[in-house]
Amino acid sequence: MPEAGPEAARMRQPGELNDAQQRRLLITCKYIDSLLCDIEHALHTAASESPFPRYVVDITPAQTQVIEDHIRGIRAQLLQTLAWQHMKPEPPEIPVTRSIATDLAFVDIAIEELKPRYLRGSGAVPEDAVDELNGVIRELRSLVKSMDSYVRHGLGSNPESRAKPPTADHTASSSV
């Protein structure tokens, strides 16, 4: 005779999915929302100051608004879908500061890999470029360390400091 598992102990209500199906429903709703976040990111690429934009903004602000309205409708339906199964989205768990600090760690690794010893795989770095390359690396590292320090220690201390990011000394990279 099969043993009664945790699911057998709970009575299924009419129209209710089993636990595995509910988990799948929640995971799929979260995945859909992450894709909607990607769409929002693409829509707002023009507002970014990135020197390496990925998207060409080929829609008008009015079209952006219509798409955002559709996104709001899809998200409302996702919530209704979860409510149908007496479920709610899980609250956020990851502090923004932790996400930023993690990304900055990867930025620091990428900067490290700009050092001449790592670039050798692409050919010898010309001697007359080594000093300037190292200067660029030092400047980038300094800016990243400053941002990391602010994220880890300075966010709550002085609200005025939020409006004043450090300025870069572009002398090391101005001729690159």
69 and 103 together in one domain: no
pLDDT digits (tens, 9 = 90+) for 66-100: 999 999 999 999 999 999 999 999 999 999 999 99
**Does 39 map to a domain?**
yes
Claim: this prediction has a pTM higher than 0.85? no
What backbone torsions phi and psi does residue 42 show, to the nearest 5 degrees?
A: -65, -40
Q: What integer is the mean pLDDT of 106-125?
A: 95
Mean pLDDT for all residues in the chain? 87
Structural domain including 62 reads 13-84
**Does 171 map to a domain?**
no
- DSSP for 108-160, please give it: HHHHHTTSHHHHGGGSPPPHHHHHHHHHHHHHHHHHHHHHHHIIIIITTT-GG
- Candidates 168, 165, 143, 140; CA nearest to 154 is 165
19 and 66 together in one domain: yes
- Say what the pLDDT of residue 122 is: 92
Whose tokens are 């060409």? That residue is 56
**Does 4 map to a domain?**
no
Tell me the HSE value of 171 on the side-chain side, using a 13 A CA sphere: 1
Tokens of 52: 């390496």
- Gap between the Cα atoms of 82 and 33, Å rounded: 13
Given a cut of 90, whether residue 160 has pLDDT beyond it is no
CB atoms within 10 A of CB 67: 14
- Say what the pLDDT of residue 20 is: 96
Domain boundary among 43, 62, 84: 84
63 and 111 together in one domain: no
Read off the amino acid at residue 147.
M
Domain boundary among 84, 113, 128: 84
Cα separations in angstroms, 59 against 73, 79, 116: 20, 28, 42
User: Cα–Cα–Cα angle for 169, 171, 175, nearest 5°?
Assistant: 140
Give the max Cα distance, the chain: 80
When divided into structural domains, the chain yields a total of 2
- Say what the pLDDT of residue 171 is: 43
